[in-house]
Amino acid sequence: MMKVLIYAYFTVLLIGLNVLKAETLELKNISSAVEDKLENSQDIKALEDYLSKSEEELVKVEIEKKKKDYISKHRKELESYIENGKNVIPLIYSIFIKHNLPPELLAIPIIESHYKVIAKSPKGAAGLWQFMPETARNFGLKVNKEVDERLDPIKSTLAAVKYFKKLYSVFGDWQLVLASYNAGHNKIITKVSYHGNSFSSIKNFLPKQTKEYVLKFIAIAEATTEIIKKKRLDKEDTNFDIVKVNKGYTFEEISKLTYIKRETLDTLNPHLLKKRIPNDGEEYNLYVPKGYGNLVKALLDDSV
């Protein structure tokens, strides 16, 4: 009899718990007062703010870690890349200042091309800024069988300036500009529309490569500008002159007229793929050794 009573007691208790559980989970049992309280809860808003700030703090922590790691382990590597660009960095620096762009953007070619003017990727990107052909053409560069102006350091930089300004007009945030430069602006527009208009709010929804790209840029930007100023590469001084030419000379003809070695012209002008200036009436940059600019211009004008 005792066993029957104990069994009956626990059966009633369990039924009661199940009823309680069902009532607790039913939406109709949540009063409108509770809904209002949740909606207006300062605690919830405080939590959202905290989580948002926590994301930003996490980004800062990641950046600081990468900065220390990169500078302690890769300082010489960083300096070697800047050495690669020592002949073009002063001009790029002055172009950025002229166009009111942050000089820290000089760190992008370190990541993209190691400051090698003729760098090419397996996917077809080329030059200091690693433009794809379509992007290059969209921003005014010629890319064809005779000319690839992605390999012209000055014209490609002016195209990069237009591109940065366009991206900034869309996002108004340099971290999002960097993410767009790596992943494409359409992808970042989609992420922003779903997850918020800051890098910290979308970073966990980005491809790993893009997230790392932005963090690496921020980590090395400060060290890059520091090294550039230390080497005085922020002063406009190069080892070449630029001559604007719109007539179809071959490098061989230019060499004979000016006594500049043909090999020097080849090295300074990788953007002229056929080793000649196209005879299409368009104006092209001809890079010549420093001090030769006026002479070359005069000789080419006189030879017409």
Q: Within the chain, which residue ranges are assigned CATH 1.10.530.10?
A: 56-230
Q: Binning pLDDT at 50, 70 and 90, where does residue 56 land?
A: low
Average pLDDT over residues 54-79: 74
| DSSP per-residue codes, 154-223 | HHHHHHHHHHHHHHHHHHS-HHHHHHHHHH-HHHHHHHHHHH-SSHHHHGGGS-HHHHHHHHHHHHHHHH
Which of 94, 77, 111, 82 has the alpha carbon at shortest distance from 225?
A: 82
Alpha-carbon gap, residue 69 to 71, rounded angstroms? 6
Tell which residue, 98, 61, 70, has the closest CA to residue 224: 70
217 touches 108 (CB < 8 A): yes
Is residue 28's pLDDT more than 70? no
Partners of 289 in beta bridges:
240
Range ranked top by mean pLDDT from 4-18, 229-243, 269-283: 269-283
Phi, psi at 117, each rounded to 5°: -60, -35
Confidence at residue 32, expressed as pLDDT on a 0 to 100 scale: 52
Convert the pLDDT of each residue in 164-196 to its tens digit. Answer: 999 999 999 999 999 999 999 999 999 999 998
Q: Are 124 and 132 spatial neighbours (Cβ–Cβ below 8 Å)?
A: yes
Question: Which percentage of the chain shows pLDDT scores above 90?
Answer: 61
Mean pLDDT on 70-75: 76
- The pLDDT assigned to 75 comes to 82
pLDDT at 220: 87
Averaged pLDDT score across all residues of the chain: 83
Residue 109 has pLDDT above 90, yes or no: yes
pLDDT at 155: 97
**Residue 111 pLDDT > 50, yes or no?**
yes
Model pLDDT for residues 239-271, shown as the tens digit of each residue: 899 999 999 999 999 999 999 999 999 999 999
Whole-number pLDDT of residue 169: 95
Task: Decide if 112 is catalytic.
Answer: yes
Of the candidates 77, 83, 112, 252, the residue annotated as catalytic is 112
- How many Å apart are CA 175 and CA 63, to the nearest integer? 12
Sign of CA dihedral 297, 300, 301, 302: positive
- For residue 5, pLDDT over 70 is answered with no
Closest CA to 146 of 250, 256, 240: 250
User: Residue 19 pLDDT > 70, yes or no?
Assistant: no
pLDDT over 60 at 298, yes or no: yes
What is the rounded end-to-end Cα distance, in angstroms, of the chain? 123
| Options 3.30.390.30, 3.30.70.141, 1.10.530.10, 1.10.1060.10; CATH of 56-230 | 1.10.530.10
Residue 115 CB contacts under 8 Å (≥ 6 apart), including other chains? 81, 82, 84, 85, 88, 89, 109, 128
pLDDT attached to residue 286: 97
Q: What is the average per-residue pLDDT within 30-45?
A: 45
Task: Give the pLDDT band of residue 58 (cuts 50, 70, 90).
Answer: low
Cα torsion through 59, 63, 65, 66, rounded to 10: 130
